[in-house]
Amino acid sequence: MSLDPNLPPSEIENLLAEDRTFPPDPDFTAQANATVDLYAQAEADPEAFWAALARERIDWAEDFHTTLEWDLPFARWFIGGKLNIAYNCVDRHVERGLGDKVAYHWIGEPGDTRRITFADLQREVSRAANALIELGITTGDRVAIYMPMIPELPIAMLACARIGAPHTVVFGGFSAEALSDRINDAEAKLVITADGGWRRGKPAALKPAVDDALAMTTSVTHTLVVRRVGDAVDGGTAMVEGRDVWWHDIVDRQDDRHDPVPLDSEHMLYLLYTSGTTAKPKGIMHTTAGYLLGTSFTHEQIFDIKPDDVYWCAADVGWVTGHSYIVYGPLANATTSILYEGTPDTPDWSRWWQIIEDYKVSILYCAPTAIRAHMKQGPQYAQAHDLSTLRVLGSVGEPINPEAWLWYHEHIGGGRAPIVDTWWQTETGMIMITPLPGVTTTKPGSATFPFPGVGADVVDGEGNPVPLGSGGYLVLTRPWPAMLRGIYGDPERYRQTYWSRFPGMYFAGDGARRDADGYLWLLGRVDDVMNVSGHRISTIEVESALVDHKAVAEAAVVGKTDPITGQAIFAFVIPKVGVEANDALAAELRNHVAKAIGPIAKPKFLMFTPDLPKTRSGKIMRRLLRDIGEGRQLGDTTTLADGGVVEAIRASSGSAEE
């Protein structure tokens, strides 16, 4: 992440005023897992707080002797302890009589389903672990996983964890080149993949990308291939003799028992690569015990998990939300989850709501981009389904605009389910800033307060805390159990990237403001902050003002070089379905922003577009929009979810300048 040295280190302007509040419902509070005294308890002695939880929640093969060793910026948690995370996620539940409880209700996009209990999971994971051993994988070897959202994906991750082979999951949507970069950096020995997956009604082949990637790598000895789409892939799937093995050929014949290997607390559990905009991707390292504690405890408290909940995190397992809140956190808590292979619009926009009705889903966790996509279509799809089982809603991945929050609250949560807007990162491993349902009075668009035990602050350019009511840089002020342990193979880059901007503090790369009541409002990446006539304006505030207008489904805002003001605001706007986009509407939207947050934030350029460039995890790629705005050639597009989008934007009617 780079801070623009040309920008003054001043704070970020505080423009958007949102003063609606939603206090917890007393009935919810009465049954809530979280209680208000957690904050004081954690604050009194954070290390003791985490240590007690670690002993209570984790089944240890050997107890730890030291809670934390903090050699800034290098942390080690629960030193001396030994455990196996797959045992903690699967076997111990079976031993305690939960073998028949469903771990995953899996739903394939074409409508096929699988019901996988904890006992099934124990057998499947054990077989897969035995197959890995047969393929020559031992504790410490790295395994790349490149799969669609099928049950074998979490099974493969758990099998790796069971033998202590760190996995690195690569999004199924990434290119062969992105895959080979990650294989090379991790020096992975094995790739677990599938012939393909179903997406928008069509089979999408995956294995050819693995073949291409392997032409650019030397470390891989085998691939293990799940048959998912079978003959639906044109020409079938080519298998290289001696290298490629079908999952059903090798896994299915293994012994369904395997003794989990006790591993060090600090044994590397996985690497997950985050793409920088230009530099080579960073392999974020997560280890075992602290990560297990951080994800399971936050999951239980923030989503108010009860034994009979049906929980659905509608993210992709290939990004950190899936690692922490589809796989490790929920399984550690013996939670029943939904795992859905496809997209929300297949066969139509009712798909999610149908799943919620069919499976009586009680907790939904998704990204604002998905909520806005549903908003764009209108509430009629949700209204046609029984969503009354939903009792907690979550949001992650981006700031949620107040309008999207209110829509989610009203149309999905029936005005009753509390919303938890959770801020965190691949690097933090666990949710760091969030309301606690039943405890926190929420404000639409605010992630509210740090989780108990987490230290967070908003500082100015010199690292001094900003007063209430102003904006600055979000920092984390003390180590936490699920924190990244570094960047794989590059400790210096780790120090430089996260710990050098403000000495002694972890700089997250995000801007934030703290309102008069101390609530935290995330403002997006500081690289996205615009500088208009010396005012530092966050993109999210202008976007939220646009989305606040009834004609707008989604908006993205970037700065465009301007001879007079330094940067001028360029807005890309997706109108709601059925709205006519014309110059009169553009003028109206500009005035709407000026009225909502002030004339300084009025977009100089406004362009209607059918879609926006996004990453596979749903984040808007403002970098590409800046390229379009400046009329530049596009930068790296490997992480773009849909390559056609940029062309579609370029082909749109051109931008209307004021």
How many angstroms separate the CA atoms of 558 and 631, rounded?
13
The minimum distance between CB 471 and ligand WTA, in angstroms, equals: 14
- Closest distance to ligand WTA from the beta carbon of 445 (Å): 9
Q: Decide if residue 298 touches ligand WTA (CB under 6 A).
A: no
Nearest distance from C-beta of residue 615 to ligand WTA, angstroms:
8
Q: How many CB atoms lie within 10 A of CB 178?
A: 21
Vertex 110: Cα angle to 109 and 116 (nearest 5): 65
Closest distance of CB 144 from ligand WTA, Å? 19
Q: Is 181 in the site for ligand WTA (CB under 6 A)?
A: no
CB 597 within 8 A of CB 646: no
- Please say which residue, 188 or 367, places its beta carbon nearer to ligand WTA: 367
Assign residue 575 a region: left if phi > 0, alpha if psi is -120 to 50, beta otherwise?
A: beta
Helix H or strand E encompassing 329 = helix 329-332
Q: How far is the CB of 637 from ligand WTA (least distance, A)?
A: 18
The residue written with tokens 């109108």 in the block is 575
Letters for 442-481 (x = contact with ligand WTA by CB under 6 A, - = none) are -----x----------------------------------
Least gap, CB of 1 to ligand WTA (angstroms) = 9
Contact partners, residue 621, CB within 8 Å, separation at least 6: 613, 614, 615, 639, 640
Query: Phi and psi (nearest 5°) for 367?
Result: -100, 150
Task: Please choose, out of 122-130, 313-321, 488-496, 578-586, the segment that lies near ligand WTA by the rule CB under 6 A.
Answer: 313-321
For 289, left (φ over 0), alpha (ψ -120 to 50), or beta? alpha
Q: Which of residues 253-282 bind ligand WTA (CB under 6 A)?
A: 274
| Shortest distance, position 290 Cβ to ligand WTA, whole Å | 17
Choice between 117 and 434, CB closer to ligand WTA: 434
CB 340 within 8 A of CB 353: no
Closest CA to 325 of 353, 301, 296, 304: 296
Contact (CB, 8 A) for 330 and 311: yes
Q: Which one of 617, 623, 629, 649 is in contact with ligand WTA (CB under 6 A)?
A: 617
Instruction: Tell whether residue 369 is a contact of ligand WTA (CB under 6 A).
Output: no
Judged by CB under 6 A, which stretch of 185-193, 289-297, 317-325, 401-409 contacts ligand WTA?
317-325
Closest by Cα among 183, 177, 180, 171 to 146: 171
- Residue placing its CB nearer to ligand WTA in the complex, 198 or 291: 291
Of residues 183, 245, 436, 508, which one binds ligand WTA by CB under 6 A? 508
By beta-carbon proximity to ligand WTA, the closer residue of 321 and 362 is 321
Could you tell me which of 329, 297, 133 has the C-alpha nearest to residue 222?
Answer: 133
Q: Is 522 in the site for ligand WTA (CB under 6 A)?
A: yes
Tell the residue number behind the tokens 């403001």, with chain if given: 513
The 3-state secondary structure of 516-539, one letter per residue: CCCCEEEEEEHHHCEEECCEEECH
Least distance (Å) between residue 325 CB and ligand WTA = 9
Q: Which run of H or E residues covers position 146?
A: strand 143-146
Minimum CB distance to ligand WTA, residue 161 (Å): 20
Query: Residue 91 or residue 316: which is nearer to ligand WTA going by CB?
Result: 316
Closer CB to ligand WTA, 329 or 397, in the complex: 397
Q: Does 365 bind ligand WTA (CB under 6 A)?
A: no
Q: Examine residue 321 and tell whether it contacts ligand WTA (CB under 6 A).
A: yes
Residue 509 binds ligand WTA (CB under 6 A): yes
Q: Per the structure block, which two tokens stand in for 362?
A: 């009680």
Q: Which residues contact 154 (CB under 8 A, 6 or more apart)?
A: 104, 317, 326, 327, 331, 339
Site string for ligand WTA, 525-544 (x = CB under 6 A): x-------------------
Considering only residues 411 to 440 of the shown chain, the ones binding ligand WTA according to CB under 6 A are 421-426
CB of 90 to ligand WTA, least distance (A): 24
Scanning residues 85 to 144, which ones bind ligand WTA (CB under 6 A)? Answer: none
Taking the chain, what is the end-to-end CA distance rounded to the nearest angstrom? 33
Which residues on adjacent β-strands are paired with residue 117?
A: 102
Minimum distance, C-beta of residue 191 to ligand WTA, in the bound complex (Å): 23
Q: For residues 520 and 66, what is the distance between their CA atoms, to the nearest angstrom?
A: 33
Which secondary-structure segment (H or E) carries 366? Answer: strand 363-366
Over the window 373 to 402, marking each residue x when it contacts ligand WTA by CB under 6 A and - when it does not, the resulting string is: -----------------------xxxx---
Comparison of 92 and 525: residue with beta carbon closer to ligand WTA: 525
Which of 266/398 has CB closer to ligand WTA?
A: 398
Q: Which is nearer to ligand WTA, 447 or 456 (CB)?
A: 447
The Cα–Cα gap between 405 and 435 comes to 14
β-strand pairing of 363-366 with 392-396: parallel
Interface residue with ligand WTA among 403, 510, 541, 548 (CB under 6 A) is: 510
Site string for ligand WTA, 235-254 (x = CB under 6 A): --------------------
Instruction: Provide the binding-site residues for ligand WTA, judged by CB under 6 A.
Output: 274, 319-321, 396-399, 421-426, 447, 508-510, 522, 524-525, 617
